Amino acid sequence: MTAPTTGPSEGRALALTSGPRRALDGFGRAVRSTALHAAPADVSELSALLARASSERLPVAMRGSGRSYGDAALNAGGLVLSTHRLDRALSWDPVEGVFEAEPGLTIEGLWRRTIEDGYWPAVVPGTAFPTLGGCVAMNIHGKNHFRAGNFGQHVLELDLVTPTGETLTCSPTQHPEVFHAVIGGFGMLGVVTRVKLRLKKVESGFLSVRGYNLPNLDALFDNFAEQLPQSDYLVGWVDAFARGDALGRAQVHRANYVPADADPEPGVSLHVERQGIPNRFFGVIPRGLMWRLLKPWVHDPGMRLVNWAKFTSSRLFDDPNKPFLQSHVAFAFLLDYVPRWREAYGRHGFIQVQPFVPKEAARDTFRDILTLCQQRDLVPYLAVFKRHRPDDFLLSHALDGFSLAMDFRVTAANRDRVWALGQEIGDRVVAAGGRFYFAKDAVARADQVAASFGPERLEQFFALKRRLDPAGVLSSELSRRVVPALAKALGD
């Protein structure tokens, strides 16, 4: 169903339950369902749709650009409200570096408006296409989490429309308890309709990047400990197929902002056109064709070879003593190099599991997890290693520790085993005192999530849910998967 062409003020009824359904999926394509769908053109239309859904007792889930890997933006049998039409930039102050926009504006839409004034988003994910509203709801992080924190730590203010029709302007000082619960609250307390955030001042359009080739997991942890104090960004790719003494072998990239006096293209490198990703691989293959060329390799033998080739090439060509320059876009948005890359996984897609584990337990836990994946004969085709820091958001995944994001291909034959493995990993996360990340999760059990966050945080969240959404209008497949048992555990 598309949004009505006339607003509620003109008296036109907003058809909901009688509207057509739309098939939607998570970004990994392994979970999908059918729901009513609407894309309001403005905040008043969005509020009217929320009110109508409440009167019809129709559950509502929010969806930005559909970049959550699992079921966070799915709502089988309910209504999905898309914010992609609410994408206006509202204000930009290049002196203070403060930007305001509607929730449907993407990270790409943001940086393109600010880079030439010397500002870059302080925190970005691995793709430029999530919306600002989605970044708030999931409190996304980037390769500089250890340095800059989460997205929410750079939000100055937001507007929230609740299912009761109330509009709240929230900040660290205005309705602070709501502010700290909405950021990372996966869209369950209200709809963010305006985001005001502070950006990072940069003097060059380039980053200085160094590569490190590391023989195993212990070397990876040791290298991070050495490099963190002198890094603006730090990320590791892990060959999850490697075994024995090579378990956890990795390639690490460290990046630092380039000062103005070291910019080889002063006054030019900050231009929008200098921030693009190359249109051709090796100067020959169009980016748009790469996913088709990758697809025949997306199976265990093929990805074992791809991982080996990547590690071997890094051993041959990475020299930490010879840094190279990359644009902010080229370094940050690796997932955008190959358009439609998720389709290379085939019709059943993939899921991502990203355990966050405290630093004291991370080394042993990740060794255990990588070994478990090999024992179960379900090796992740991509594994990414990051360092994190804690924050004070209510349901934050962030902690003083590490994460290992792992992509698992799903097939008709292995689906049940993949889900079972994901939950085995979840048990290890809980045992280690770790956290779950709702932007990625598709498989965690409610009891695991409850044990991870603990009763005090959950009691606060449910109190706010009862206050802001007493009828429980906001409800996604993610919330129904993890929240009912949480509520029961609290006697709700």
Find, among 371, 403, 355, the residue nearest to 216 by Cα: 371
DSSP 392-450: --TT----SEEEEEEEEE--TTTHHHHHHHHHHHHHHHHHTT-B--TTT-SS--HHHHH
Whether the pLDDT of residue 4 is over 50: the answer is no
Average of per-residue pLDDT values in the chain: 93
pLDDT tens for each residue of 196-253: 999 999 999 999 999 999 999 999 999 999 999 999 999 999 999 999 999 999 999 9
The predicted pLDDT at position 1 comes to 39
Whether the pLDDT of residue 8 is over 60: the answer is no
- Write out the two tokens for 453: 């966050």
Residue 455, Ramachandran bin (φ over 0: left; ψ between -120 and 50: alpha; else beta): alpha
Q: Three-class SS of residue 297?
A: helix
pLDDT tens for each residue of 356-370: 999 999 999 999 999
CB atoms within 10 A of CB 176: 12
Q: What is the pTM of this model?
A: 0.94
pLDDT tens for each residue of 68-114: 999 999 999 999 999 999 999 999 999 999 999 999 999 999 999 99
Contact 157/109 with Cβ under 8 angstroms?
Answer: no
Mean pLDDT of the 20-30 span: 94
Helical axes 455-468 vs 477-489, angle rounded to 10°: 120
Q: Three-class SS of residue 356?
A: strand
The number of residues making up the chain comes to 492
CB atoms within 10 A of CB 244: 6
Q: Worst-scoring range by mean pLDDT, 89-98, 277-286, 297-306, 449-458?
A: 277-286
| Band (267; pLDDT cuts 50, 70, 90) | confident
Residue 184, Ramachandran bin (φ over 0: left; ψ between -120 and 50: alpha; else beta): left
DSSP 8-class letter at 121: -
pLDDT tens for each residue of 418-440: 999 999 999 999 999 999 999 99
HSE-CB for 313 with a 13 A CA cutoff: 7
Query: pLDDT over 70 for what percent of the chain?
Result: 95
The predicted pLDDT at position 284 comes to 82
Q: Worst-scoring range by mean pLDDT, 196-210, 243-257, 267-281, 444-458?
A: 267-281
d(CA 308, CA 302): 10
Using alpha carbons only, give the angle 14, 16, 18 rounded to the nearest 5 degrees: 115
Mark 226-242 as b/e (b = at least 16 C-beta within 10 Å).
ebeeebbbbbbbbbbbb
Q: What is the CA 143 to chain-centroid distance, rounded?
A: 12
| Band (487; pLDDT cuts 50, 70, 90) | low
| Band (283; pLDDT cuts 50, 70, 90) | confident
d(CA 433, CA 283): 47
Q: Three-class SS of residue 231?
A: coil
Whether the pLDDT of residue 2 is over 50: the answer is no
DSSP 8-class letter at 2: P
d(CA 285, CA 293): 10
CB atoms within 10 A of CB 392: 11
Mean pLDDT of the 160-179 span: 97
Contact 440/69 with Cβ under 8 angstroms?
Answer: yes
| Band (317; pLDDT cuts 50, 70, 90) | confident
| Band (485; pLDDT cuts 50, 70, 90) | low
The predicted pLDDT at position 486 comes to 52
> 33 Cβ partners below 8 Å, 6+ apart?
23, 24, 71, 74, 75, 76, 77, 477
The predicted pLDDT at position 488 comes to 56
HSE-CB for 192 with a 13 A CA cutoff: 38
The predicted pLDDT at position 490 comes to 46
Query: pLDDT over 90 for what percent of the chain?
Result: 89
**Helix ranges, 78-209 (H):** 107-114, 132-138, 145-148, 176-182
